[in-house]
């Protein structure tokens, strides 16, 4: 057997909104593996009339002619349980993503032999826990052993870092792709790569630029012929395709002419033709607000990292949309330096994913490169908060690991019981930045029991969060007084959802004949856990007298707001409270108090 036959790669996959790429490490260097002879696989899935599933260029080619049998930009929906239509059947975003990954897997298998393959898959830095889990799940459904989910800018910087090991630099990674924008500050020092700060926008990219052009053209078409292309899905798909072609041409030329012989048909069956010109300056005007948003996020990220543009030694461009000259000009203006493109903008993320895969597999042990990353969100637990009235309100949020903390990291905080004689505490874990947990995403919960029975506030527990580079969060809690403790690991929704769901998805994406009826759609198991209401058992139910006290106090506070706030809202809340009190129903009065309290909080914000 030669070396090639023995070679079993750990693959790096850039699962992009528009295109996906796969790379491996060969002879100590990352390289992109062509799929169907092209490094870029359009992230498009098409079900042909004979039931065959097409992925990539063939699917993209069918997008214009048969949009109802084709799905594109699925990455925008990953993490949700929205079902998408494909040839009359409905699929979860995980399943569609898995179809793309299966296509990649088949090609990798054809090159390197069948069997499971370890993979590192990239996601935008801004993806939340659920989007990461669903991406991982899609990889597993496709038959990959997903070793790690890493941030795209980290991956890009890794690709960059490998060839500049001796440098000591602060690098900005500006990644503007088809569907998402990510911006990160990365520090490279003596071979250690650390993402210092990172922000992003989940729905901003080349697709939006195309849409701005389409909007302009739809208006022009109505003016020219009275035909409303917005109501015709095929016409829209055609225009979108032409808009992307025109946009790309404008990265080279100052203006383009567009001639579409048949955009659609009028009601009386006449073809609608469309001819127009688009200048680069007009295109730049259309997208200027979107580009300005990327620059605002860029400035914020520098602030988060505590640096100024002068501290930045290089700006690395990633993503197809950074080919737009205006993007480069804006960066030049902001940083007073020419952005660097020495790592291929389309390939940097996949190459970096392969580097990560290589570090993982040992293929790059000699490289001397170590990676750290940052937590993309704060993570913490639900707590009861003292209210202005002296009581406690559940549903507050106490972050334990702050957003942008360098990971891996371990943080511990102390918490206290809120009820006399309380011997157990439910630890509800959330991620997000909102002050109250209802604005954040719930990740899971664990209960610690066996606490010493003491008056409220006198028994403490320590809660420790350990967040790893894999995105795994280990939660542990301990009561120092009794030694009672619990642990929980939050890494993969699959381990907590049924194995059946995985099997079902595998079957659904592998069979050529999709059996699922629209009516069966409800049967698809939701992959995400439902967000559960906050567990209020921690707290004693207040007595009726206490509630009445609260009602009186709140009514006074509300009345004091009449002058500065909307007095109609105040009147309604006061009336609501009075009626609830008259009803003598505890639940009703509590709900009315909550409403009034929330309103007051809003006014104070």
User: Which residues are tagged catalytic?
Assistant: 14, 75, 152, 175
> Any contact of residue 17 with ligand AMP (CB under 6 A)?
yes
What is the x/- site pattern for ligand AMP, positions 122-161, by CB under 6 A? ----------------------------------------
> Any contact of residue 18 with ligand AMP (CB under 6 A)?
yes
> Any contact of residue 324 with ligand AMP (CB under 6 A)?
yes
For 16, counting Cβ atoms within 10 Å of its Cβ (0-12 exposed, 13-18 middle, 19+ buried), the class is buried
Region near ligand AMP per CB under 6 A, out of 11-19, 156-164, 185-193, 449-457:
11-19
**Hey, which residues between 55 and 94 contact ligand AMP (CB under 6 A)?**
none
* CA gap 588, 581 in Å, rounded: 8
Residue closer to ligand AMP, measured from CB, 207 or 373: 207
Residue closer to ligand AMP, measured from CB, 33 or 502: 33
> Any contact of residue 492 with ligand AMP (CB under 6 A)?
no
Region near ligand AMP per CB under 6 A, out of 243-251, 376-384, 389-397, 593-601:
243-251
Residue closer to ligand AMP, measured from CB, 243 or 593: 243
Tokens encoding 120: 């590192």
Cβ within 8 Å of residue 121, ≥6 positions away: 13, 15, 135, 136, 139, 144, 146, 148, 149, 150, 353
Cβ within 8 Å of residue 160, ≥6 positions away: 171, 316, 342, 343, 348, 352
> Any contact of residue 211 with ligand AMP (CB under 6 A)?
no
**Hey, which residues between 101 and 120 contact ligand AMP (CB under 6 A)?**
none
> Any contact of residue 16 with ligand AMP (CB under 6 A)?
yes
* CA gap 367, 448 in Å, rounded: 44
Residue closer to ligand AMP, measured from CB, 120 or 324: 324
Tokens encoding 320: 């197809």
For residue 388, the minimal CB distance to ligand AMP (Å) is 48
Residue closer to ligand AMP, measured from CB, 205 or 394: 205
* CA gap 501, 497 in Å, rounded: 7
* CA gap 265, 226 in Å, rounded: 11
For residue 373, the minimal CB distance to ligand AMP (Å) is 20
Long-range (24+ apart) CB contacts under 8 A made by 105-108 are 105/142, 105/143, 105/144, 107/22, 107/33, 107/35, 107/36, 108/9, 108/11, 108/22, 108/33
Cβ within 8 Å of residue 26, ≥6 positions away: 7
DSSP one-letter string for 171-217: EEEEEE-SS-EEEEEEEEETTEEEEEEEEEETT-SHHHHHHHHHHHH
Beta strands at 11-15 and 117-123: parallel, antiparallel or unpaired: parallel
Q: How far is CA 599 from CA 185, 374, 568, in A?
A: 38, 35, 13
HSE-up (13 A, CA, CB side) for residue 425: 33
> Any contact of residue 177 with ligand AMP (CB under 6 A)?
yes
> Any contact of residue 206 with ligand AMP (CB under 6 A)?
yes
**Of the residues 201, 212, 323, 393, which one makes contact with ligand AMP according to CB under 6 A:** 323
Q: Which residues pair with 409 in a beta bridge?
A: 467
Residue whose CB is nearest to ligand AMP in the complex, by number: 206
Residue closer to ligand AMP, measured from CB, 206 or 380: 206
Region near ligand AMP per CB under 6 A, out of 148-156, 241-249, 264-272, 504-512:
241-249
> Any contact of residue 352 with ligand AMP (CB under 6 A)?
no
Residue 179 contacts residue 324 (beta carbons within 8 Å): no
For residue 75, the minimal CB distance to ligand AMP (Å) is 9
For residue 514, the minimal CB distance to ligand AMP (Å) is 28
At residue 167, the 3 state secondary structure works out as: coil
Residue closer to ligand AMP, measured from CB, 120 or 461: 120
Region near ligand AMP per CB under 6 A, out of 142-150, 319-327, 424-432, 475-483:
319-327
Binding site for ligand AMP (CB under 6 A): 16-19, 177-178, 205-207, 244, 247-248, 251, 319-321, 323-324, 346
């Amino acid at each position: 057997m030669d070396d090639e036959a023995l070679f079993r790669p750990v693959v790096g996959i850039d699962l992009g909104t528009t295109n996906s790429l796969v790379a491996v490490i060969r002879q100590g260097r990352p390289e992109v593996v062509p799929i169907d002879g092209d490094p870029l696989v359009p992230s498009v899935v098409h079900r042909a009339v004979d039931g065959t599933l097409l992925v990539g260029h063939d699917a993209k080619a069918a997008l214009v002619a048969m949009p109802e049998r084709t799905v594109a930009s699925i990455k925008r929906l990953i993490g949700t349980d929205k079902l998408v239509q494909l040839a009359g059947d409905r699929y979860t975003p995980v399943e569609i993503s898995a179809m793309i990954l299966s296509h990649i897997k088949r090609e990798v298998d054809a090159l390197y032999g069948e069997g499971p393959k370890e993979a590192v898959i990239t996601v935008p830095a801004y993806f939340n826990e659920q989007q990461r889990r669903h991406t991982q799940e899609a990889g597993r459904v496709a038959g990959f052993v997903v070793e790690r989910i890493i941030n795209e800018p980290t991956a890009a910087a890794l690709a960059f870092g490998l060839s500049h090991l001796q440098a000591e630099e602060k690098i900005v990674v500006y990644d503007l792709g088809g569907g998402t924008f990510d911006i990160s500050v990365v520090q490279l020092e003596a071979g250690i790569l650390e993402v210092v700060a990172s922000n992003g926008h989940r729905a901003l990219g080349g697709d939006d630029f195309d849409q701005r052009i389409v909007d302009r053209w739809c208006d022009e078409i109505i003016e020219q012929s009275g035909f409303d292309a917005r109501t015709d899905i095929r016409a829209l798909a055609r225009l979108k395709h032409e808009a992307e072609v025109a946009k790309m041409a404008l990265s080279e030329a100052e203006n383009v002419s567009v001639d579409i012989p048949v955009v659609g048909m009028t009601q009386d069956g006449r073809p609608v033709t469309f001819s127009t010109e688009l200048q680069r300056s007009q295109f730049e005007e259309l997208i200027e607000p979107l580009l300005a948003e990327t620059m605002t996020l860029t400035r914020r990220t520098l602030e988060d990292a505590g640096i100024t543009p002068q501290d930045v030694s290089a700006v690395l461009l990633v993503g197809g949309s950074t080919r737009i000259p205006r993007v480069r000009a804006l960066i030049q203006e902001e940083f007073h330096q020419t952005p660097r493109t020495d790592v291929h903008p389309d390939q940097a993320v996949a190459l970096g994913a392969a580097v990560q895969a290589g570090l993982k597999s040992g293929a790059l042990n000699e490289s001397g490169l170590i990676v750290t990353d940052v937590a993309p969100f704060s993570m913490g637990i639900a707590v009861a908060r003292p209210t202005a009235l002296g009581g406690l309100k559940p549903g507050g949020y106490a972050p334990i690991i702050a957003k942008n903390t360098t990971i891996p990291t371990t943080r511990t905080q102390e918490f206290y019981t809120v009820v006399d004689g309380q011997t157990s505490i439910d630890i509800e874990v959330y991620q997000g930045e909102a002050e109250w947990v209802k604005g954040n995403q719930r990740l899971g919960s664990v209960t610690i029991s066996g606490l010493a029975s003491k008056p409220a506030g006198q028994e403490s527990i320590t809660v420790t969060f350990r967040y790893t580079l894999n995105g795994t969060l280990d939660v542990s809690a301990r009561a120092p007084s009794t030694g009672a403790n619990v642990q929980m690991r939050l890494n993969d929704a699959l381990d907590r959802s049924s194995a059946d769901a995985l099997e079902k998805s595998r079957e659904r994406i592998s069979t050529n004949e999709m059996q699922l009826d629209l009516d069966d759609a409800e049967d698809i198991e939701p992959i995400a856990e439902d967000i559960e209401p906050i567990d209020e058992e921690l707290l004693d139910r207040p007595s009726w007298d206490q509630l009445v006290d609260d009602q009186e106090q709140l009514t006074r506070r509300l009345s004091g707001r009449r002058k500065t706030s909307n007095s109609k809202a105040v009147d309604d809340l006061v009336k609501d409270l009075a009626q609830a009190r008259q009803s003598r129903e505890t639940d009703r009065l509590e709900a009315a108090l909550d409403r009034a309290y929330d309103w007051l909080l809003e006014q104070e914000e």
